[in-house]
Chains A and B, each alone.
Chain A
Amino acid sequence: MEDIQSKAILEALIFVSESPLNLDRMKEVLGGVNKRELQRLLAEMMEDYRKSERGITLVEVAEGFQFRTRPEFGEWIRRLKKVKTAALSQPSLETLAIIAYRQPVVRMDIEKIRGVDSGGVLRTLLEKKLIKIIGKKDVPGKPIVYGTSKRFLEVFGLKDLSDLPTLKDLDSLGPPSMEGVLPLEEEKGEGEAIPEEESKVPENQEAQVDESSSEASEDPL
């Protein structure tokens, strides 16, 4: 099959898919194309869309591919759809971040970090389908184990969980409880710069706290 034809077919498949279409499904439908080949085609298509400056782009998200409108045009679409973007509150976002980076996680782990009761927030996140119940932990009380959902990846435009922005490293103050942290590979040798970064941490982080608390309430989701 010619590249052009394959691309056109892929375009059609992605167009009719309700959720991001993954490589396995594409392979299944197309047949006789290997994944590497598919990836090359999709990469080219993404580039084509980007270059042609259309209203629609092809993005890799939630372990699949999907057509999405370009971020710059958000305002127009909001006008058309008259959507009121429901804001996710600061507590919800915080909790979501903890779950995203620490999953699988139980409520107690979350509350240990946040220092406040998180039951209500968890319910909200479940209702919004941003998190899901993964199972129960095999410890006394059988607490519910939470993780992020596919919807979470879709909403935040992440390819998969490894696509999460890297968490700032914890410092030398004793053993940080890192055992549950997701495999967030240190990219581009960032790890080497730790000592230098450490000294900056307080100022940086304080500055950002300010931002987050002031922005939080109006940050729509």
Chain B
Amino acid sequence: MDSPLFHHEPEQMELPLKVKLGTFEGPMDLLLYLIKKNEIDIYDIPILVITQQYLEYLEMMKNLNLDIAGEFLLMAATLLHIKSKMLLPPSEQEEGEGEKEEEDPRAELVRRLLEYQRFKEAALQLTKGPLLDREVFVRSFFGETLPEKEGEDEISGEASLFGLLEAMKKVLEGLPAEEFQEISVEQLNIKDKILHIMERLWEAESVAFTELYTPFTPRREIVVTFLALLELLRLRMIRVFQGETFGTIRIFSPVGPEEGRKTIEERIL
């Protein structure tokens, strides 16, 4: 274990993968990195060198199958634009714009870089002080309880066989009853459901909304039933009443069986 070889090996193995690309959050980050790496004066960026290196990085990212966000490409375009601007003789440029064009083409970029760097630094400053819930704490007022000492529960006494059985029973009781159902491909359609609902209404005068469903009603049927109700409401074949908010919804039908069947036949496909 103490052999120096052993310690060196992993490092060597990591070498080819030592690409720190993941750490660049964006083009600004990458540019700052390049500037630092090349020990460049940020106020006098050799745009040719930086552009070239920047593009090389993009190429590398592409080779690594990393998604290159649009922002990286935008920055590449900006760099190339600056580069081309710097190649042009300054005096030849649009005279109409006058002095504005005299500004160093890099100035805007430098300003942005400095600004970005300033905030990066500010972010760092923010985390330097003692932070709440990191170094300093306050009393908690919302019933937050301290975590139990781990494992305390299990060792509070030896469990007897009966204790175990009791626990097992509790677990089984907690499970929902086993259900055996015949699985059939039901052909549900709204028309059948409508007839079904109406027949129940003609028999019983009124039906509670909840009576239309049982706990075993399959989801598909729940949906179809609901659609049927909506359709019936639209056709004014049913009326629904609710006594109080969240109270029982009762469904009535103002239409008799004869008239009802006729309407259903005519109006519902």
Q: Give the B-binding residues of A (Cβ under 8 A).
A: 18, 59, 66-71, 74, 77, 80-83, 85, 88, 90-91, 93-94, 96-98, 100-101, 112-117, 154-157, 164-165, 167-168, 170-171, 173-174, 176-177, 201-202, 205-206, 208-213, 215, 219-221
Is the pair B107, A90 in contact by a Cβ cutoff of 8 Å? no
Q: Quick one: which of B116, B129, B135, B138 contacts A115, CB cutoff 8 A?
A: B116
Does residue B217 face the partner (Cβ distance < 8 Å to A)? no
Chain A residues contacting B262 (CB-CB under 8 Å) are: none
Q: List 23 A-B contacts (CB under 8 A).
A: A67-B138, A68-B132, A71-B130, A74-B134, A81-B137, A82-B147, A88-B127, A93-B126, A93-B127, A113-B115, A113-B119, A114-B25, A156-B131, A157-B132, A165-B125, A167-B119, A171-B43, A174-B108, A176-B111, A206-B36, A208-B120, A210-B36, A213-B29
Chain B residues contacting A77 (CB-CB under 8 Å) are: 137
Q: Smallest CB-CB separation from A171: which chain B residue?
A: B114
Query: How long is the Cα–Cα vector from A81 to B146 in the complex, in angstroms?
Result: 6
Known pairs A156-B126, A173-B110, A174-B103; A71 contacts B121 (CB<8 A) = no
Q: Smallest CB-CB separation from B74: which chain A residue?
A: A115
Q: Which 7 A-B pairs have the closest CB atoms?
A: A116-B26, A71-B130, A93-B123, A74-B135, A71-B135, A97-B123, A97-B122
Chain A residues contacting B32 (CB-CB under 8 Å) are: 206, 209
Known pairs A66-B138, A157-B136; A96 contacts B26 (CB<8 A) = no
How far in angstroms is the closest Cβ of chain A from B149?
Answer: 10
Does residue B232 face the partner (Cβ distance < 8 Å to A)? no
Known pairs A67-B139, A85-B133; A115 contacts B28 (CB<8 A) = yes
Main secondary structure of the interface of B (DSSP, over half): helix
Query: How long is the Cα–Cα vector from A167 to B122 in the complex, in angstroms?
Result: 7
Known pairs A101-B122, A174-B103, A202-B43; A115 contacts B112 (CB<8 A) = yes
Chain B residues contacting A117 (CB-CB under 8 Å) are: 69, 71
Is the pair A115, B71 in contact by a Cβ cutoff of 8 Å? yes
Chain B residues contacting A201 (CB-CB under 8 Å) are: 42, 114
Query: How long is the Cα–Cα vector from A210 to B39 in the complex, in angstroms?
Result: 12
